[in-house]
Amino acid sequence: MLSLKNISKSYGVEGTRIFRKVLVNLDLELEDGSCLAILGPSGSGKTTLLNLLGTLDVPDTGSIRLGEKDTGTLGASELTILRNKTIGFVFQSHFLLPQCNVLENVLVPALPSGKPGDEILGRAEELLKQTGLWEQRWHKPAQLSVGECQRTAVVRALINSPTLLLADEPTGALDEENARMIMELIIRINRETNVTTIVITHSTDLAMMMDRVMRLKNGKLEAVK
Find the CATH number of the domain harbouring 210.
3.40.50.300
Per-residue pLDDT, 17: 84
Residue 31 and residue 197: Cα distance in Å, rounded?
10
Q: What's the whole-model pTM score?
A: 0.92
Domain of 79, in residue numbers: 2-223
Amino acid at 199: V
Instruction: Tell me the mean pLDDT per 10 residues along the chain, length 225.
Output: 95 86 95 95 91 95 94 94 93 93 96 80 94 96 95 95 95 90 93 95 92 94 92
What is the pLDDT at residue 45? 92
pLDDT tens-place string over residues 111-131:
887 767 888 999 999 999 999
- State the pLDDT at residue 115: 66
> What SS3 state is found at 159?
coil
Supply the pLDDT for residue 43: 85
Counted domains in the chain: 1
> Exposed e or buried b for every residue in 39-66, given b needs 16+ CB within 10 A?
bbeeebbbbbbbbbbbbeeebeebebbb
> Alpha-carbon distance 85 to 93, whole Å?
22
Q: Which of 126, 149, 129, 153 lies closest to 139, judged by CA?
A: 149
Q: What is the residue type of 127?
A: L
Residue 104, judged by CB atoms within 10 A of its CB (0-12, 13-18, 19+), counts as middle
